[in-house]
Amino acid sequence: MPYAALYGISPSVVAVPLDRPAYRPLTGYWWPLAGGRLSPPLEQFLADGEPPVFVGFGSMSFSGAVVAGLGRRVVVQRGAANLSAEGPDVLVVDDEPHALLFPRVSVVVHHGGAGTTAAALRAGPPPRRCPAGWCWRTA
**pLDDT tens figures, 28-45:** 888 877 678 999 999 999
Average pLDDT, the chain: 84
Residue-wise pLDDT tens digits, 52-87 = 999 998 888 777 667 777 788 999 999 888 888 888
Instruction: Determine the pLDDT at residue 75.
Output: 95
**Higher-confidence position of 4 and 135:** 4
CB 79 within 8 A of CB 64: no
61 within a domain of the structure (yes/no):
yes
133: left (phi over 0), alpha (psi -120 to 50) or beta: left
CA gap 139, 123 in Å, rounded: 9
Answer yes or no: do 58 and 89 share one domain: yes
Q: Supply the range of the domain harboring residue 11.
A: 1-30
Answer yes or no: do 58 and 23 share one domain: no
Closest by Cα among 84, 29, 28 to 57: 84
CA gap 69, 95 in Å, rounded: 24
- Report the chain's C-alpha Rg in angstroms: 17
Q: Looking at the 3D structure of the chain, how many domains does it have?
A: 2
Answer yes or no: do 46 and 22 share one domain: no
Dihedral (CA of 7, 11, 16, 22) sign: positive
If residue 99 lies in a helix (H) or strand (E), which one and from where to where?
A: helix 98-101
Instruction: Determine the pLDDT at residue 76.
Output: 93
Instruction: Determine the pLDDT at residue 127.
Output: 53
CA distance to 9, 59, 76, 114, 136, per residue, from 90 (Å): 33, 20, 7, 25, 19
